[in-house]
Structure 1
């Protein structure tokens, strides 16, 4: 991946991005003030391989060691791992690196970027929770209601009731939640003698998919 390509990938991104250079011959590092800030250091702090390894997340030690080794080979690479900054905060870091060449194509080391995607990951996680959790809770509730109806009507256990719902969902290609909602809605409107209700319920269980949107 060329430096131009890397710039294109990162252009316009809201993440914190810091640039670095690593010279293979004398194991020397340079990093931008933005890169230092990601690790929790002030402007002008000098990095080293040992310093960066000290910030490894305990669960990502092997991966970070591999990243450090890749630096020495001078081969382009991209990796994601976690670090712990000077304040003890965990950061999710993407490292994107390319070869740094001198005159006549002599390999000098690598140059690239540290991209802190921690905030983006948290925002995405929260968006997923905000968007899907209420729906999951609502879906779970109506399925539990439908199971309860089946348990009462047929005198069966919860697991058996769920299997009946699954069977009807698979047979009709209707989403489980939609069938459960239909069943609960219809049973609440049902009246009459117990025997008549049972017969109507049997019929409902076998025909309630009519008018319900099939699963995609």
Structure 2
């Protein structure tokens, strides 16, 4: 069921747009060059400010800021491809999940020092889509478990002549004392009931009488009475 839903949703919704920008950083002069997409990912209008490191490392998490600063240092000193993913606190007030990728082949010497080239990637849409899928599945699983427990409660209400609260307390008692999860115990009970383990000829006869009486708006009789008697 969930697979069918996911397939239908994938066809109905557009694929999330992953934005990719390009940058160059002259580490000796401390000068950045950004394309328009980098500006947009950072929450800025293209060419609206002079590119600066402070925008690239902007994050509410101090550890993220330190990791971004560290990758720039390592890209300069090691000359190897490096990357870091972090949560950007963009200038437009939006938090975005972004990825910086420094390319090894682009770490060439400029007149003032090593120049780091790379990509700046906005992964926010991908993360949001995955999060929504996980949340939706959790809701579906929760609804399924609740339905199973409610069916088990109904079975206990019938079997022991209990009200709903009493039936739930009974199910919970068995769950706690036998160290079995409530939904698992409920599932076992429903599975057993579906195989006929909770029914016999006398029980079915009693239900025949009960269904006949309530359908005819008559007071319920004893289990041994037959319809029409």
Q: Normalising by the residue count of structure 1, what TM-score does the alignment of the two structures yield?
A: 0.62
- Rg comparison, structure with higher value: 2
Match of 2:45 in 1: 42
Structure 2: which 5+ runs fail to align?
A: 1-15, 161-166, 204-229
Structure 1: which 5+ runs fail to align?
A: 1-12, 170-174, 194-216
> How much does 1:66 deviate?
2.1
Distance in 1 (alpha carbons) for counterparts of 2:156 and 2:179? 9
Kept after mapping to 1: 8 A contact 2:24/2:32: yes
Once the two structures are superposed, the pairs formed by residues 140-155 of structure 1 within 5 Å of their partners are: 140-143=146-149, 145-146=151-152
Distance in 2 (alpha carbons) for counterparts of 1:107 and 1:26? 7
Match of 1:181 in 2: 190
Q: Do the aligned partners of residues 92 and 184 (structure 1) sit closer, same or farther apart at CA in structure 2, a change above 3 Å counting?
A: farther
Distance in 2 (alpha carbons) for counterparts of 1:176 and 1:107? 68
Structure with more of its chain in helix, by fraction: 1
> How much does 1:111 deviate?
1.6
Match of 1:160 in 2: 174
> How much does 1:18 deviate?
0.8
Matched length = 173
> How much does 1:93 deviate?
0.7
Match of 1:111 in 2: 117
> How much does 1:190 deviate?
4.0
The question of 1:130 aligning with 2:122 is answered no
SS at match of 1:125: helix
Matching residue within 82, 85, 96 for 1:80: 85
CA RMSD after TM alignment: 3.9
Distance in 1 (alpha carbons) for counterparts of 2:173 and 2:145? 17
Q: Normalising by the residue count of structure 2, what TM-score does the alignment of the two structures yield?
A: 0.59
